[in-house]
Amino acid sequence: VSFSKGNCGEGCPDVALKECISSCTSDNDCPSGYLCKKSTKECLAEPSPLCTGASCVPVGIYVYDNGSETDDSFGLEIKDAFYGETPAGGGKKWTVPMVDGQTYEMLLYGIGVPDGIGTYAIELTDAVKIDGPSLSGSNLDDGMSFMWHIKAKK
């Protein structure tokens, strides 16, 4: 198997994949099936589906910087899998199929908070029950994280 995107160049063998993808700055630097975790400059495998088929509940998750400076960036993980990061000062929406009635851990962490005031907000579809800290705040700074338990429901 060879990859030919970004830092891998042409014909990077999979045995050297870790070396090839150890310094990404965008998803385009990673091979197909990988996402760039810009905060650590590493390519991580796209998350495996939490659910497949008609019985899944599509859960919409929108994370954004809701401060007046709009300069913050955040990362999202669900069930220990990396889903991506928001652009600085912007937002990102994910639609994650989840098993009805199943509870998952959702982690949000600050990765680019230049002024030390990590202003975040999370919007979720009605298809979830959530337990954890507030879905918005101004205290999610670099290196900090908050965790919620989210439960898909039909």
Among candidate residues 15, 43, 17, 13, the one with its CA nearest the CA of residue 28? 43
Task: Identify the pLDDT of residue 18.
Answer: 54
Q: For position 12, what pLDDT does the model report?
A: 52
Tens digits of per-residue pLDDT, 67-97?
A: 888 899 999 999 999 999 999 999 999 999 9
pLDDT (tens digit per residue) in 111-122: 989 998 999 999
Q: How many CA atoms lie within 13 A of 98 on its CB side?
A: 25
Q: Cα(12)–Cα(5) distance, rounded to whole angstroms?
A: 9
pLDDT at 3: 43
pLDDT at 20 over 80: no
